[in-house]
Structure 1
Amino acid sequence: MIEAALQSTGGILCLALVFDAAIGDPPALWRRLPHPVVLFGSLIGWGEGRWNRPGASDADRRRGGVLLTGLLLVAAALAGWLLHRMLSFVSYGWLLEALIASVFLAQKSLHDHVAAVAESFATDGLPGARRAVSMIVGRDPEQLDAGGVSRAAIETAAENFSDGVVAPAFWYLVAGLPGLLAYKALNTADSMIGHKTARYLMFGWAAARLDDLANLIPARLSALLLWAAALLAPGADVRASVRATLRDARRHRSPNAGWPESAMAGALGLRLAGPRVYGGKMVEDAWMGGAEGGDAGPADIRRALVLFRLACGALILLAGVMALAA
């Protein structure tokens, strides 16, 4: 019975989450092999060079972006299907599939990057923390005080819990390796070309809209998992987390990021998001957790990581329950 459960989709996902939490992305491996996300990026770069040329009309740019996004999704899903088919002929192929799936999850890598910001505060002060946070956010770190750096790190933990952990896990449950690879390809495209700039507004339109759609359910599931984590995290307030989510999530400029961010903010009694500077421009956004929430500090980064770890544990437990119920 246990072996049958492990070979189910939920069982393979549970193993993949455990592998990712324990091992993450070993740097030594990816120094020798190209990471799959790098391959997605290369295909996106090739497509942009071909279909997003300077001087192209808006209509041509949009058509080119739609074509590239469709090509990318088909290629990723086909690669996932071929991998799954090949593994079905291998002894313990389900275990190898779990290892492959773990590559597309980001629990340990996200945790380590956010933890590095807290550690930098302790060892190198604000300048070191600014350098560490610049590795994970797009905003200008020199414009951030200690509260701004702390807020950026906590927001990264919340938002990327959704699109780096929960969303790939969700799409694996829905469609196996094809769904997982297609989601990661789409999310990579959104991060590269889904920007509201003159260069990408039309070309990245399809990638940005589809990424919003693909994250619709995972973002809300992320909030539920953070609520569950708040039940166990020392000093967290689950009722405040629920209130903040239901009140603030829809006020965020992103249709999805507000759900995990407001859940995290409410649980920790903080205010997140709000007005911030990207590329020298002020971006106006609502406060998650309410303007009355406390400003984040370095110690709150570690509190957020406790909540993050517990939420990841809740996801692993959910996958395990689904495996046993299969």
Structure 2
Amino acid sequence: MTALLTLLALLFEAMLGYPERVFRAIGHPVMWMGALVGALDRGLNREGRLPWQRKLAGVAALLILIAATSGVAYLIQHWLLLMPLGMIPLAALAGTLLAQRSLYAHVEQVAVALEDDGIEAARASVSHIVGRDTAALDEAGVARAAIESLAENFSDGVVAPAFWMMAGGLPGAAAYKAINTADSMIGHHSERYEQFGWASARLDDLVNLPASRLSALFLIIAAYLTPGASASEAFGVVLRDASRHRSPNAGYPEAAVAGALGLALAGPRTYEGKPADGTWIGEGRYGATADDIRAALTLYRRADMVMIGGVAIVALLVVILT
């Protein structure tokens, strides 16, 4: 059931995305998760507590978040599967936890801004999808930031929720998105969140580990299928550089894209006015352009199709064997 659910959810989301009318009416499931994270932060992350108390409060908040989101998802899944053709609305709902279409659209906007509207518009566009400071980025910096975001979010926003949906249906994907949302909101190295967000950051690293490696594999296969891209270089850069990234997971898809397209990615950047060191991934060009963003988007679409094909094979095997 979970393989078929994942396949249908991927196809629904790839074709339809998340309708703007629905978003305006009720928001998005990730927004609801974020609201719960914010409420738990306000209620449990109290100043004046000892560090171990704030860390324990963060663990409690994370457990409450996972239990609430996966529990609601389980009840919805159970109820829908009791209905005739209930798999269809269930897959449509599960598709809201994937980001294939929106990820492509957001990164493509950066390429369009670079091509048509100039560097200021491009900086503004890329600022919506990256956490680093963008005000001083040149064209190459904007293009690299967009490509890195595409690679990392292919893992976090597409492959990881699909992986956990395969493993645990709608509850599995919902639990993953809850953890990922918590990490993005409270998993920071700051005075307020260093302790409270510790559990969210550590668990997010763990649950993203399998998807980051799978993402690199899908991108390497996509490079083999893409004229002008190099699968052998992608594989080589992953082996050599992926583990050198500041993130235990983001380096794998970024390394695959860097090698496939002959680029150098990652490297130093600035957050909230503070420089952050970073090792360069890949030995290619630093001077990325809008054309490189377009090439990365092509690679991404083919990697996504490779993943969907793999899920379809698993779903077919399950049907045959059962």
**Aligned-partner SS, 2:239:** helix
Spell out, residue by residue over 1:218-255, the C-alpha distance to the aligned partner (whole angstroms, 9 max, x if none).
10000000011001112100000000000000000110
In 1, the alpha carbon distance for the partners of 2:124 and 2:27 equals 26
In 1, the alpha carbon distance for the partners of 2:285 and 2:240 equals 13
In 2, the alpha carbon distance for the partners of 1:223 and 1:121 equals 27
> How far apart are residue 322 of structure 1 and its match?
0.5
Instruction: State the TM-score, normalizing by the size of structure 2.
Output: 0.97
In 1, the alpha carbon distance for the partners of 2:183 and 2:259 equals 28
Q: 1:127 is matched with which residue?
A: 120
Q: 2:77 is matched with which residue?
A: 84
Q: Which residues in structure 2 correspond to 1:69-108 (within 5 Å)?
A: 69-108=62-101
Q: 2:198 is matched with which residue?
A: 205
> How far apart are residue 294 of structure 1 and its match?
4.1
Spell out, residue by residue over 1:45-84, the C-alpha distance to the aligned partner (whole angstroms, 9 max, x if none).
1111111122222111101100000100111111111011
Q: Which residues in structure 2 correspond to 1:132-147 (within 5 Å)?
A: 132-147=125-140
Q: 1:217 is matched with which residue?
A: 210
Report the RMSD for the aligned CA atoms in angstroms.
0.9
In 2, the alpha carbon distance for the partners of 1:122 and 1:233 equals 23
CA contact 1:17–1:316 (8 Å) conserved in 2: yes
**Aligned-partner SS, 2:192:** coil
In 2, the alpha carbon distance for the partners of 1:269 and 1:261 equals 12
**Aligned-partner SS, 2:270:** strand
Spell out, residue by residue over 1:270-291, the C-alpha distance to the aligned partner (whole angstroms, 9 max, x if none).
000001111111111111113x
CA contact 1:269–1:294 (8 Å) conserved in 2: no
Spell out, residue by residue over 1:165-205, the C-alpha distance to the aligned partner (whole angstroms, 9 max, x if none).
00000000111111110000000000000011111110000
Q: Which residues in structure 2 correspond to 1:282-321 (within 5 Å)?
A: 282-290=275-283, 292-321=284-313
CA contact 2:265–2:286 (8 Å) conserved in 1: no
- Give unpaired runs (5+ residues) of structure 2: none
Q: Percent same amino acid at aligned positions?
A: 49
- In the comparison of the two structures, how many residue pairs are matched? 318
Q: 1:3 is matched with which residue?
A: none
CA contact 2:66–2:178 (8 Å) conserved in 1: yes
Q: Which residues in structure 2 correspond to 1:1-326 (within 5 Å)?
A: 8-290=1-283, 292-326=284-318
Instruction: State the TM-score, normalizing by the size of structure 1.
Output: 0.96
- Give unpaired runs (5+ residues) of structure 1: 1-7
Spell out, residue by residue over 1:257-302, the C-alpha distance to the aligned partner (whole angstroms, 9 max, x if none).
0000000100000000001111111111111113x54431111000
In 2, the alpha carbon distance for the partners of 1:167 and 1:271 equals 25
**Aligned-partner SS, 2:190:** coil
In 1, the alpha carbon distance for the partners of 2:237 and 2:285 equals 10
CA contact 1:77–1:182 (8 Å) conserved in 2: yes
CA contact 2:108–2:294 (8 Å) conserved in 1: yes
The residue identity in structure 2 corresponding to 1:95 is I
In 2, the alpha carbon distance for the partners of 1:143 and 1:58 equals 36
CA contact 1:215–1:256 (8 Å) conserved in 2: yes
In 2, the alpha carbon distance for the partners of 1:147 and 1:26 equals 33
The residue identity in structure 2 corresponding to 1:123 is D
